[in-house]
Amino acid sequence: MSMTGDNNMGSIVQKNIATSVITSDGKILILKRSKKVSTYKGRWACVSGYIEKDEIAYETALREISEELGFTKDDVELIREGKILHARDENIIWAIHPFLFRTKKTEIRLDWEHEEFKWIFPEEIKNYATVPKLRETIESLLEGDEEAP
């Protein structure tokens, strides 16, 4: 989706991404983005990826969990799908499709997109330099839920 603003703004593009918050034993998994990725190098994120043209957001979430962590769909249990959040970054509007998954598997196999991972308590996210709207994404998925994480 491309929107054209006035002469000062140029072209604004919307990019749809699925972001999966993975929980285990009261903690959430965060990943440090590598220097090889095109955006937000060195920032902390959850499992995220672009929603492909013929894909629904949930399929993207499962694909990215497999690619980025080495998990199968049997390794995770969907707790909830959240409301879409939007983050503006210069000429890009990120449409974030959030998902909350639970896992018992804590052995992570990182791919090239990340160089480090940590299991943290959700409230600790404020101590990390993150991709846009990550704290809000996590909070929106966890608020008012006795079940999660």
> What would the pLDDT profile of 43-70 be if each residue is shown by its tens digit?
999 999 999 989 999 999 999 999 999 9
pLDDT in tens, 85-137: 998 888 889 899 999 999 998 888 999 999 999 999 999 999 999 998 999 99
pTM of the model: 0.86
CB–CB of 17/49 below 8 Å? Answer: yes
Cα–Cα distance, 98 to 87 (Å, whole number): 13
Q: What is the CA radius of gyration of the chain?
A: 15
Say what the pLDDT of residue 98 is.
Answer: 96
3-state secondary structure of 16: strand
Report, as an integer, the average pLDDT of 69-86.
94
What the block records as the tokens of 96 is: 């974030």
Say what the pLDDT of residue 10 is.
Answer: 64
Cα–Cα distance, 66 to 101 (Å, whole number): 13
Question: Greatest CA span in the chain, whole angstroms?
Answer: 52
β-pairing verdict for 92-103 and 11-24: parallel
CB–CB of 20/58 below 8 Å? Answer: no
Say what the pLDDT of residue 50 is.
Answer: 93
What the block records as the tokens of 75 is: 């390794």
Say what the pLDDT of residue 145 is.
Answer: 57
In 3D, which of 123, 117, 121 has the Cα closest to residue 139?
Answer: 123
145 DSSP assignment: -
Reported confidence tier of residue 140, pLDDT bands at 50, 70, 90: very high
Say what the pLDDT of residue 1 is.
Answer: 42
Overall CATH class of domain 2-142:
alpha beta
Reported confidence tier of residue 8, pLDDT bands at 50, 70, 90: very low
